[in-house]
Structure formats: C-alpha cells, structure tokens
Amino acid sequence: MPAVSIPRRFVSANETEVERLDGKTHHWYFKDGLGDSESLTFVRAHVVPGTGHAFHTHPEMDEIIYVIKGSMTQWLEHEKKELRPGDSIYIPRGVVHGCINHTNAECEFLAVLSPAKISGPFAVDVSQEEPWRSLSA
C-alpha cells in the first residue's frame, strides 16, 4: 500500500526550513515544495544592521510584508519609507522593491507571497540595473 502524505498544516518554529544568507536569515514555513499550500508562501526574516534585500521583483507573485521588530527602509520602485513594528506594505507582482536595515538593531518581519506555485523564477535581481543601481537601498 502506498504511503499516505499527511498535509502540512501546523508548523512549529523548529520545523521551518532555515536559509542563512549574508546578513539575513529566512525561516520558511510554507513555500513551493514545503507544505501543501499552492496559494501562499510564508516566511519570517531577520535582517541584521547594514544589510537587506537588494532591488528585485517577483514576476508572478504578490507580496505583503509586516514588520514585527526593529525597522527598515523599504523601497517600492522610486518611493521609500521607513517601516516600523506594525507597519506593512503591499507589493504587486512585477514591481521593483528592496529594503535595508540602516539601524543598529536587527529587523524582523513576516512576508506572505501568493501564489506559491509559479512557472518562472521566484525573484529577479535588478540591483545592477539603472536606476536601481544608483539608488541607496
């Protein structure tokens, strides 16, 4: 008899997929291939001072970011705003965005992206293209 796959619905912190990058750590709760949601991707991110996410797009995904602790400068195309705990931003698919933590404390935020199942790349880095290269993320 074939094994029955149990849907992943409850996820404790120690069950996340941890991705460590230069200056940031992502705790993936749900994404394509992790969990059974085809409609949502969910990640908790920690960004240390002086680092962030370079200018990029998600060609097939909408994103919502919600800051839990600390603060970060968030770019949405040519507009930037300081996001603090309780602040959020909606980023439509294909829109260039990026963030940087200019403070002396770690920033922690949640991001939800939709849909989880896409045909192309998760993100496209545009940080070396103008005008994004000339902007201070």
pLDDT at res. 135: 82
28, 34 contact by CB (below 8 A): yes
pLDDT at res. 9: 79
pTM over 0.75: yes
Per-residue pLDDT of the chain (137 residues; tens, 9 = 90+): 555 566 777 888 898 999 999 999 999 999 887 877 889 999 999 999 999 999 999 999 999 999 999 999 999 999 999 999 999 999 999 999 999 999 999 999 999 999 999 999 999 999 999 999 988 65
pLDDT at res. 37: 80
125, 85 contact by CB (below 8 A): no
DSSP code per residue over 90-101: EE-TT--EEEE-
pLDDT at res. 61: 97
Residue 21 to residue 4: CA distance in whole angstroms: 34
